[in-house]
Chains A and B, each alone.
Chain A
Amino acid sequence: MIHFDNVTKIYSNGTLALEGLDIEITPGEFISIVGKSGAGKSTLLKLITREDIPTEGAIYIEKVDIAKIRAKDIHFLRRKMGVVFQDIKLLPTRTAFENIAYALEVDGSPNSKIKKEVANILELVGLESKAEAFPDQLSGGEKQRVAIARALAHQPILLLADEPTGNLDSVNAMEILELLEKINALGTTVILATHASELVNKIKKRVIALDEGRVVSDVVQGKYKI
């Protein structure tokens, strides 16, 4: 589904972020990308969301070289994926319901469908009672669950999570992880970038370790090690 073909990323200030990456990701996988800060995890995710493009090599999603997608068509690519961030990034002036609905409104879905789907997804993340709350009325864990709900609302084939538990305590972090596993079990490919070893060790699925922009290990049932 996703194919990294010898991908190198050098930022304009000369920093080498990724070097010669060859990765193949198949549908339905749950992949943890681990590594120290600055190892290149976030850059890797940003290349998939096409916030940035590789300096060398190419990334194919469903056989399309995404660097070649025109700027005005990028939103079609992004509707195939959901993204969850460490800093959550909810729209501050929208309620939980509206934040999730936004991801469905963008492609012109009818209101009746939106109402039903958002209700379902709020139930999945366990926040039915917080539908009308604004982000600053929610706890950190609740916010992240709303963000995950938003990332899932349009039923993406791929969920990207960049340190989603970074700002959460261990109980909340574990809940978020269980949610991600539940989503993966429903068929969505999940890519989780993290440096939380206890999470990765619990998942027992494929782990790709990065160090200074290079893949140092890629193990099918891996553990966190650098």
Chain B
Amino acid sequence: MNSITLFRILKNGVINYSRNFWLSLAATSIMAITLFTVSSLLIIKAVTDISLKTIEDKVDISVYFKLGVPEAIIKQIQDQVDSFPQVKSVNYIPSVLAREKFKELHKNEPLLIESVEQFSDEENPFPASLAIRVASLDDYQNIITVFQAENLNPYVKKITDKRDVVDRLQKITDAIKKIGIVLTIFFSALTVIVLFNTIRLTIYNRREEIEIMRLVGASDSYIRGPFLIEGVFYGLTGAVLTAALLYPILYFLGPRLSSFLEIDITKLADYGLNIWLLFGALVGLGVVLGAISSLIAVRKYLKI
């Protein structure tokens, strides 16, 4: 195919797009709705992931030591636990600090504060503890097992057992993730089918044009080319339209969403949802969908 033919195919694509204005507008709108749906689902999924992660981060294990366990031993245990790969952080809270925290927590209740201050540092009834955070909820049980083992158990006074909460949380997050995937697939498929049918109708509407082109001696590729270009245009314009709709929403809604969900929405980028990357993906997806739909739809009328 030489350059003049290529140029003519491009030109015909542009002419078709602009002179069939209402058809193009219909196809472009459906394309924008498709892309908007898909990207909204992606964003909702990312926000859900962040929220779940934030909740998971708030769950920690507190191991309280018996009074009189020397600080050196606790530090030793801390180093040991810290070396486990699944452990994210281990915080040592000495009994002095535990008492300060208690006082801070109850600063409006002078009676409680007074009673706590009755004790000298040596008699401090607040146990020293380790606050352990793990990378994944599944590792929670492993850590508890370590402290229940014979070598550590004698030092341990109590492990705050949040297994119920964790179990429930885990079930909810699993369910949310599964429902999210099913919904994403369902709605994406739905809009893609609608998009395909819209493009098919715009081409059905022009089947006689294809017949005419065939009869005046246009080759298959010369007929198909402009329709392909139109499909690509639906993708490009649809992506721009989607971005014009989506980004202001994100911009105005983002801060509100951040404070409502107590998460930082700017973290979206950490979850592969960079705003420019998203635009690139929208364009890519739109162009591919438009081109494939056009090619499939036009094939039927090229058989004359």
Give chain A's interface residues, CB within 8 Å of chain B: 49, 51, 71-72, 74-76, 78-79, 82-83, 89-94, 102-103, 105-108, 110-111, 150-151, 154
Contacts and interface: CB of A to CB of B under 8 A. Distances in A.
Interface in B235-294: none
Contacts of B153: none
A108 B4 contact: yes
Contacts of B220: 72, 75
Contact of B215 (A78, A93, A105): A78
A83 B213 CA distance: 11
B219 A75 contact: yes
Contacts of A74: 214
Contacts of B304: 51
Given A75-B222, A93-B16, A108-B4, 17 more contacts: A49-B215, A75-B214, A75-B220, A78-B215, A82-B216, A83-B215, A89-B211, A90-B212, A91-B212, A92-B209, A93-B15, A93-B20, A103-B217, A106-B217, A107-B217, A111-B4, A150-B216
A151 B212 CA distance: 11
Contacts of A151: 216
Contacts of B213: 91, 102, 106
Closest A-B pairs by Cβ, 3 of them:
A79-B217, A93-B19, A78-B217
User: Which label, helix, strand, loop or mixed, suits the secondary structure of the B interface?
Assistant: helix
Contact of A108 (B5, B19, B214, B303): B5
A90 B215 CA distance: 11
B8 interface: yes
Interface residues of B, number: 23
Nearest to A51: B304
Contacts of A78: 214-217
28 contacts: A49-B215, A51-B215, A71-B303, A72-B220, A74-B214, A75-B217, A75-B218, A75-B220, A78-B215, A82-B216, A83-B216, A89-B208, A89-B215, A91-B209, A91-B213, A92-B209, A93-B16, A94-B15, A102-B213, A102-B216, A103-B216, A106-B213, A106-B219, A106-B222, A108-B4, A111-B4, A151-B216, A154-B217
A83 B211 CA distance: 12
Nearest to B8: A105
A51 B16 CA distance: 25
B2 interface: yes
B23 to A, nearest CB: 10
A78 B217 CA distance: 5
Contacts of A103: 216-217
Contacts of A110: 4
Contacts of A76: 217
Given A51-B304, A92-B209, A106 B216 contact: yes
Contact of A106 (B20, B211, B218, B303): B218
Nearest to A80: B217
Contacts of B209: 91-92
A51 B216 CA distance: 12
Contacts of B222: 75, 106
Contacts of A91: 209, 212-213
Interface in B195-224: 208-209, 211-220, 222
Contact of B2 (A72, A105, A108): A108
A49 B304 CA distance: 10
A82 B212 CA distance: 11
A47 B213 CA distance: 18
A110 B8 CA distance: 11
User: Among the interface residues A75, A76, A92, which one has the most CB atoms of the partner chain B within 10 A?
Assistant: A75
B147 to A, nearest CB: 75
Interface string B164-202: 000000000000000000000000000000000000000
Contacts of A111: 4
Nearest to A110: B4
B121 to A, nearest CB: 91
A198 B125 CA distance: 121
Nearest to B304: A51
Contacts of B303: 71
A83 B214 CA distance: 11
Interface string B9-48: 0000001100110000000000000000000000000000
A92 B205 CA distance: 12
A50 B304 CA distance: 8
Contacts of A108: 2, 4-5
Contact of B212 (A49, A75, A89, A105): A89
A89 to B, nearest CB: 5
B13 to A, nearest CB: 12
